Chain A
Amino acid sequence: SQQGEEDPQALSIQEGENATMNCSYKTSINNLQWYRQNSGRGLVHLILIRSNEREKHSGRLRVTLDTSKKSSSLLITASRAADTASYFCATGGDSSYKLIFGSGTRLLVRP
């Protein structure tokens, strides 16, 4: 079952601007991960944040996690045209290691 909802569904920005995507989930989690998917391709793992962490950085990426609100955000700073892709959050909750994916945000970065 799909438990994550992301907003916005689509986002169009100018190169150089920041992009923020939000993810909400329903049940308790062990960790939350963000993935990128270029059109028609597989997924690329971007970053993992554990339930006891509040913020994490990786290069131009910043992820926050608010377990009280069951939400996370992904910020891409100084966006580039190559960042154009779909971005998915995915939550992992139990020992089965299953991931439940959010609905995704389609990001378009205009040159």
Chain B
Amino acid sequence: GAVVSQHPSWVICKSGTSVKIECRSLDFQATTMFWYRQFPKQSLMLMATSNEGSKATYEQGVEKDKFLINHASLTLSTLTVTSAHPEDSSFYICSALGLAGEVWSNNEQFFGPGTRLTVL
């Protein structure tokens, strides 16, 4: 149980285009999802917290107008990188917290497999 998927797994786009990444909780409902970015050989940096039915909370230094987050349902959050540039090339990972008591109380996030974005 507690599987999180991401789509696409990789994407290559031209500079200036927008890219949408989906994060889905497959077998549980997630009121809260998190988006991380990871540059090569570095750690995960939290970008934003996505809450179902409300606006996302962005970490300091993350441009909310550039990284649009929509958490429209209890199983889906999307991250749209608008007007992507080569410096946005990175590995984007989402995670989800479930409504289930065990997941919630343990603060265990379930991570998606990641999306590798390459902007040419």
Contacts and interface: CB of A to CB of B under 8 A. Distances in A.
B90 interface: no
A99 B43 contact: no
Contacts of A98: 34, 46, 49
Instruction: Give 8 closest A-B pairs by Cβ, nearest first.
Output: A42-B113, A43-B111, A101-B44, A92-B107, A101-B43, A42-B111, A42-B114, A104-B43
Given A42-B93, A42-B112, A101-B43, 19 more contacts: A1-B59, A1-B60, A30-B107, A31-B107, A41-B114, A44-B111, A45-B108, A45-B109, A45-B110, A48-B106, A97-B107, A98-B49, A99-B34, A99-B46, A99-B95, A100-B46, A103-B43, A104-B42, A106-B41
A97 B32 contact: yes
Instruction: Report the contact-size class of chain B (Cβ under 8 Å from the partner).
Output: 20 to 34
Contacts of B34: 98-99
Interface of A: 1-2, 30-31, 33, 35, 40-45, 48, 88, 92, 96-104, 106
Contacts of A48: 106-108
Contacts of B111: 35, 42-45
B99 interface: no
A40 B49 contact: no
Contacts of B41: 106
Interface of B: 6, 32, 34, 36, 41-46, 49, 59-60, 91, 93, 95, 97, 106-114, 116
Nearest to B57: A96
Nearest to B10: A40
Contacts of A100: 46
B5 to A, nearest CB: 10
A85 B97 CA distance: 24
A38 to B, nearest CB: 10
A43 B114 CA distance: 9
Contacts of A40: 91, 114, 116
Contacts of A103: 42-43
